[in-house]
Chains A and B, each alone.
Chain A
Amino acid sequence: MDLRVRVNPITCAGHGVCAELLPEYIRMDEWGYPVISQGAIPEDLRRRARQAVAECPTLALRAVEGDDRG
């Protein structure tokens, strides 16, 4: 199952923890908000992706399996 990470832009406050934990997939824009790559996250990065989701101070990230539009 493909794993993707999605952000709720309303809850997101731009803390930036996610971009530190998963820099291969998440980078910060010039205002401090996450830009998330659209592709599926490979096996070796999944643990860190779930960690990024868990560590978000406002729980703005969701890990989404498969083609769920989320």
Chain B
Amino acid sequence: MASTAADIALWHTGRATGIFSIVLLTVVIVTGVFVNRKGELAGQPKSVLTELHRNISLLALAFVLVHVLMAVVDPTVSISPAALVVPFASAYEPAWIGLGAIAFDLFTAVLITSLVRQRMGHRSWLVVHWLTYAAWPVALAHGLGTATDLHSAWELVLTWACAAAVALALGWRLVASRRALPPGQRAAALLSDADRERAAASAARRIPPPSPPGDSPAAPGWPYGPASARPTGGDDRA
């Protein structure tokens, strides 16, 4: 049976909304990492960034919903509504559509928990939110698997650009995590920094530091140093 013009339109809409969804979800992840890292976007207030992250995720949801709707109503492929959420239940390309269903389920979980996050408590919400990092590659794989003409240059470029963006964002996050000190070490690090600044400031003012420049006030003999270098003014008893 020949495809009608309407069928072709459905097919293309499905494809296009799918591609837009991936792009939008990539932006969601990148803005999410920006929020987490307390980054700034062009000097805008922080709330702009958090709201951008949230609004784009809602926009992405809209595109994803149209995308899956197209998939169901498209007569040229047999995808039941159940197959949208139940992985591998589709007659057409069960594996690749299945991945799409998984991604859809995960993103839905993230979205719903975010809508009720104040009721959930931060810890549980956070654990679900991390599922985004699992959902996105699954969505990407779904896109690559169902795309019948991967050789279209702009689609390839777009796919690589999205992958690169997420990789960079994730990389930024992981590096920052690694570099962050565990809470138990932070005060000590700050104290060393403060002491170092103080020593530098003393040196800059060209005042001889107390002799010897003590390591720590808790060291025996600080700040007086060995008896021979004690400051004058006190009763000089050895």
Contacts and interface: CB of A to CB of B under 8 A. Distances in A.
Interface string B91-129: 000000000000000000000000001100110010000
B121 A59 contact: yes
Interface of B: 35-36, 38, 45-47, 50-51, 117-118, 121-122, 125
B50 A55 contact: yes
Contacts of A13: 38
A41 interface: no
Contacts of A11: 122
Interface residues of A, number: 15
A14 B38 contact: yes
B46 A20 contact: yes
Contacts of A54: 118
Interface string A48-63: 0000011101111000
Contacts of A59: 117-118, 121-122, 125
Contacts of B35: 15, 57
B38 A21 contact: no
Contact of B47 (A14, A20, A53, A60): A20
A7 interface: no
